Amino acid sequence: MTRFEQYAGKYDTIRMERRDGILQITFHTDGDSLQWSSRPHHEFPEAFREIGSDPDNKVVIMTGTGADFSGPQATPDDEHLKRCMRMTPREWDQDWRECKRMLMNLLDIDVPVISAINGPVRRHSEIPLLSDIVLAAEEATFQDSAHFPCGLTPGDGVHIIYPLLLGLNRGRYFLLTGQTLDARKAQELGLVAEVLPRAELLPRAWALAEQLATRPPLVLRYSRILLVQELKRRMHDLLGYGFALEGLGVLDASEKPE
């Protein structure tokens, strides 16, 4: 078991506050919108593990900072992606372990999780979509900009969550074309439960969290465990496979012609 005081100020990319058992985690880079890099890739798995190990958490709210939920818009010149293209098998192994722990530790948080998506989510958009309740600001958009559009096989969990939520054909289209979905379209297609003005997003998330927190503790925990079981099964079956194929694709793309 962990306690809030042990991890609340531990992470450079996650700001945390808790009130009456409701934990709000806010992703950021130096106080502004989260810019995806090795730092959150290292920090998120451990942070989710500690949050899930704290028995005093009743509900978790996940949100972002500034204009975007996560970015930047990926291009082939993105430094993080260029680093991926140069990684050795041992470095890919480390990334695989981090990616697997990041998503599985998130699903192992045994209390309801609400995502309040404050703006465009262009990198690792599977993370907020694994929440039990997904809220989005009117400005939010969804895109998997860092995989197929940049020459990478769409692994990292996006190959699981998008075909599941959008349906097989729409999900494959989304991943293979780099499609961007605005908040209203995402709601229409089933990614998002509610779309709200940005100023109302976090108040609505807190109102829902307070409503959930009135339920008996074991009802809260067992409901979360039950409702993510199918997601965990799919992740167990397909997450490692997707990441392995992503790595093999990188090796092929990075080979120098003879």
Greater confidence (210 vs 74) lies with 210
- CATH code: domain of residue 148: 3.90.226.10
Q: In this structure, which amino acid lies at residue 47? A: A
257 pLDDT more than 60:
no
pLDDT average, residue stretch 154-170: 95
pLDDT value, residue 150:
83
Catalytic residue among 43, 50, 98, 126: 126
- How high does pLDDT run on average in the chain? 93
pLDDT value, residue 91:
80
pLDDT value, residue 80:
67
CA 192, 194, 195, 197 dihedral sign is negative
Q: List, for residues 174-196, the tens digit of each pLDDT value.
A: 999 999 999 999 999 999 999 99
Element (H, E) at 231: helix 229-254
pLDDT value, residue 92:
77
pLDDT value, residue 83:
72
Residue 210 falls in the annotated catalytic set: no
Question: Which are the contacts of 159, defined by CB distance < 8 A and separation ≥ 6?
Answer: 175, 238, 242
Model confidence at 27, pLDDT cuts 50, 70, 90, reads very high
Q: Say how far apart CA 162 and CA 239 lie, in whole Å.
A: 13
Question: Which are the contacts of 118, defined by CB distance < 8 A and separation ≥ 6?
Answer: 63, 64, 65, 66, 67, 68, 69, 137, 139, 140, 198, 201
pLDDT value, residue 52:
97
pLDDT average, residue stretch 6-18: 97
Q: List, for residues 41-51, the tens digit of each pLDDT value.
A: 999 999 999 99
Count structural domains, the chain.
Answer: 1
In angstroms, the Cα distances linking 146 to 54, 80, 111, 237 are 33, 10, 30, 23
Q: Say how far apart CA 124 and CA 6 lie, in whole Å.
A: 27
Q: Name the pTM for this structure.
A: 0.93
Q: List, for residues 67-110, the tens digit of each pLDDT value.
A: 999 988 877 766 767 677 777 778 878 888 888 999 999 999 99
| Domain assignment of residue 150, given as a range | 4-254
166 pLDDT more than 60:
yes
Greater confidence (157 vs 86) lies with 157
Q: Say how far apart CA 158 and CA 228 lie, in whole Å.
A: 16
